[in-house]
Amino acid sequence: MAKPLPQELRDRVLAAYDRGMQTKQIAQVFLVSPAWARRVKQRRRETGRTGALSMGGVTVVKVPMDTLRELAERQPDATVNELHARLGVACSASAVDRALRRLGLSFKKRRRARRSRTGRTSPNDARGGEPSSPHVRPSG
């Protein structure tokens, strides 16, 4: 996994900005991208921080798992968006979906419907891009 650039480099880049160097020059001298140098300067200007932002971390589950399981058992054909609306918790629909997966529940909208009557469009032994009959020769 990538690591944040060292604090010493950040301090040297900011000192160069303070001396009046331009972003392009700083990027060439310190072998960093101009966008990274600008972001370091912007973060110091907006927040006063010069350190690296935290990377990754512990995922906090905001979805009440017991309530979600009960809702899913009461109405097994509900979609993720419907369950999200019924939960009434400040989280995203994707968080509800991840919670359902953690619970081992998956939802298919048509799981009780009969199969489609549309047949296969190619034989099982056909390979993509090749003629289906050995007697057909490609032109060329």
Its pTM stands at 0.43
Q: Are 11 and 43 in the same domain?
A: yes
Q: Is residue 21 part of a domain?
A: yes
Q: Is residue 53 part of a domain?
A: no
- How many domains is the chain partitioned into structurally? 2
Q: Is residue 116 part of a domain?
A: no
What would the pLDDT profile of 56-114 be if each residue is shown by its tens digit?
Answer: 776 666 788 899 999 988 988 888 899 989 988 888 888 888 888 888 887 655 556 56
Q: Is residue 54 part of a domain?
A: no
Fill in the amino acid letter for 8. Answer: E
Please say if the pLDDT value at position 118 is more than 90. Answer: no
Q: Is residue 107 part of a domain?
A: no
Rounded alpha-carbon distances, angstroms, from residue 26 to 32, 52, 81, 132: 8, 18, 48, 62
Annotate 1-39 with b (16+ C-beta within 10 A) or e (fewer): eeeeeeeebbeebbebbeeebebeebbeebebeeebbee
Which position has the higher pLDDT, 53 or 48?
Answer: 48
Expressed as residue numbers, the domain containing 80 is 65-102
Residue 96, φ and ψ in degrees, nearest 5: -65, -40
Q: Is residue 56 part of a domain?
A: no
Give dist(CA 21, CA 124) in Å, integer.
Answer: 66
